[in-house]
Homo-oligomer: A and B are copies of this chain.
C-alpha cells in the first residue's frame, strides 16, 4: 500500500449531510463524542480509510483477530433533520505531509456527499484539572462564529494560543478553500487524562446544534467512573499535607 486507500460499501443517499470529525486528540474528547454518536445513533459504516501515513500497526481485538489501523466513515440517516457522516479512527497521520493529504481525502468525501457544514470535535488542554466544563469554539466564517455563540460555545481572544493542530485544524482551514463551512468544538480539559466529562459537555452543545436527541447514559457513566479516579488522585495528593503535619506534631510534641 503506497497510497491512501478507501474501501467502501454501496454509496448511501444522504439528505444535506453534516460531517462530524472525532479523531484521537487532546483528552480523546472528540473521539469519545463521535464514537458515542456512532453507537447511540446506530450509524452504519460506509468507508474504511487506510494510509501509509498511519503508524505501521495492527490492533488486536478481544477475540485474537487483528485489523490494520484505520479511519472510518459512518452514515446516519435522520428522520427529522440533516443526515450525518461521522469520521472516527485509531490514529491521525504520523507525518506533516500526511495530515495535508488525509484531510484532502476527507474533504473529497465531504464534497462527494455535498456536505455544506463540518463540525470538528476536539479537546483544549489547559494543563490543570477543570472544574466547570465549557466548550471553546473556532470557525472558518464569522457567521458560523455568531451562530455558535447562541448555543453557548465560548470564543476567547488568543485561545487556543497555539492554534488548532492536526485534522480538526486542517478541516477548517482546507475546508474554507473549498467553500465548506466548518467549526471546531473543543471541550476544555486538563489534557492529562481521557476526559468523558468534557466529552459530555461537547455532546450537549452538539446535540442542540444538530437538533438530535442522544442518550448520554454510557458517556455519563464513564464520566462518573473517571471522576472517582480523579477524586482518588486528589485525595492522594492532598493526603500528603495531613500526613506531614502529623509528623510535625509528633516532632513538636
B52 touches A164 (CB 8 A): no
Give the size category of A's interface with B. 35 or more
- Write out the residue numbers on chain B whose beta carbons fall within 8 Å of the beta carbon of A115: none
**Is residue A140 contacting chain B, with contact meaning CB distance below 8 A?**
yes
**Is residue A62 contacting chain B, with contact meaning CB distance below 8 A?**
yes
- Write out the residue numbers on chain B whose beta carbons fall within 8 Å of the beta carbon of A163: 57-60, 66, 69
- Write out the residue numbers on chain B whose beta carbons fall within 8 Å of the beta carbon of A53: 96-97
A56 touches B99 (CB 8 A): yes
Residue among A55, A60, A104 with the highest chain B CB neighbour number at 10 A:
A60
B164 touches A66 (CB 8 A): yes
A174 touches B1 (CB 8 A): yes
**Is residue A243 contacting chain B, with contact meaning CB distance below 8 A?**
no
- Report if A58-B169 is in contact (Cβ < 8 Å); known contacts: A97-B53, A101-B2: yes
Give, as a whole number of angstroms, the nearest-CB distance from A197 to chain B. 24
**Is residue A150 contacting chain B, with contact meaning CB distance below 8 A?**
no
**Is residue A16 contacting chain B, with contact meaning CB distance below 8 A?**
no
**Is residue A252 contacting chain B, with contact meaning CB distance below 8 A?**
no
For the complex, give the distance between the alpha carbons of A203 and B34 in Å: 44
**Is residue A244 contacting chain B, with contact meaning CB distance below 8 A?**
no
For the complex, give the distance between the alpha carbons of A57 and B92 in Å: 13
